[in-house]
Structure 1
Amino acid sequence: MNFHILTLFPEMIEQGLNTSITGRAISNGLLSIEAVNIRDYAFNKHQSVDDYPYGGGAGMLMQAEPVYLAYEAVRKKIAERKPETGSDDEPVKEKKLRVVYLSPQGDVFSQGMAEELAKEEDLVLLCGHYEGIDERVLEEIVTDYVSIGDYVLTGGELPAMVMVDAISRLVPGVLHNNVSAEFESFQDNLLEYPQYSRPEEWHGKKVPPVLMSGHHANIEKWRREQSILRTYERRPDLLEKSNLTEKEKKWLKDQIND
């Protein structure tokens, strides 16, 4: 999968993503992360990409043209990489790129959204800064507006890195254990069950006996029940979207009433 991140601070992206799991995936050719410096497409010798907003107001606004030229450079590079396979009479229509603008005004990022975006071969992430970006270029190129939470940051770089991390782990081969992403938090809208490692007893707290029983069916049942209970205690809003059986609903009700 190929990520193309349009930013004023490419070094921030490169330093943040060229380590750990994403860094290893890049080295292994499973991911490509390109940090595109929007300043390279400025049309003045000082590489300035911002100006005062019309109508007044505090702060500066990123101008439309440098952002658009950076996007166009990425679009053309992707188009050149993908050979056309249509006939002369019916040329292949260029697929519209998914361009995500990181903004507190967007839909809140979720595991479901990560799973959807992980299906893309190329994904463009647009990082704003200052007081935002000229609306005209957003209307021209952006397909998705995404927020990572109801708060304001100084720029879109950190949210972009959050999205890349969440999406990347869903790309086949990125995780050493390909099934691990399948059983983590938010699968079936349930939080992950509690986990334990050695030693068997720590600070007077023992590992639940079922986990050492070797009975896989009982272990899976216990894990499922713990996921349900933990979700009820910490994120009850998610339970409304989870697919609990009638038996599981009764079990949870019994736990609550105990």
Structure 2
Amino acid sequence: MKMNIEKYKVNGEVKLKKKKTLEYIEDAEKKLKKVRKKIADLQNTMYAEGKYSTLICLQGMDTAGKDSLVREVFKQFNVRGVEVHSFKVPTELELKHDFLWRHYIALPAKGKVGVFNRTHYENVLVTRVHPEYVFSENIPTVKSLEDLNDEFYHDRMDRINQFEKHIAANGTIILKFFLHLSKEEQKNRLLRRLNIPEKNWKFSAGDLKERKLWNKYQFCYEDAINRTSTDHAPWYVIPADDKPTARFIVAQTILEAFEKYNFKEPTLDKKLLDKINEFKEELNNE
């Protein structure tokens, strides 16, 4: 199925308040099954070719559906071909390096797909909403909260752009998805976690504290998306209130991106090709 993926792509300045959070595509789950099989087949060819890697970045407010999207979109991948990383609070070792270090060492090798479920953008999102977190990085130039101003975070975004430009030049296909959830739908999903005993474990009191900072997060997301959506590392704003539709749109975007690269399986060396019949005969005569 071909669809207008460009309408989700950020090509100019975006206003999140003007972007839809709800879209419904009929039979999205059925369509997803077909698309994810095609993606998996193309990834196998990419793996064999060994020229490109792919980095899928997923960001969104709590309950936006990142975890279930990873499960449903990539479930038919060969396990050798996909690696998922979820970046939580930095460890003591990670804090002894620059803010991009832990993301750099988690990048997918050529032939593989890496999924960052929460990404290097946490460093200009969560830390911008909670600037005191930056103090744990022990940066010499940061002495007080006044140092953690717009200039500080915009400089970080510039470095993120440089990081992405560098890895793209080395053969990494970068696709970044913001799962755009409405505040009302987040409320419904949080209530579901509370109302269904089997879902209680997903709930954290911290979710409600972060929800009170909704507008600040929306501002930070909007600013980051506008400053870091580039030709080689585009952002896509995906309506996320309907999970099946969001998963299908993401999968279709990945598929159409893969199809542009015309991955090819490597051919055997001529000496090996000339001996294929010999090898077959040897095996058949065992």
Q: Give the structure-2-normalised TM-score.
A: 0.28
Which one has a larger percent helix, Structure 1 or Structure 2? 2
- Which structure is richer in relative contact order (CA contacts within 8 A, separation 6 or more)? 2
Q: Give the structure-1-normalised TM-score.
A: 0.30
Which one has a larger percent strand, Structure 1 or Structure 2? 1
Higher CA-based Rg: 1
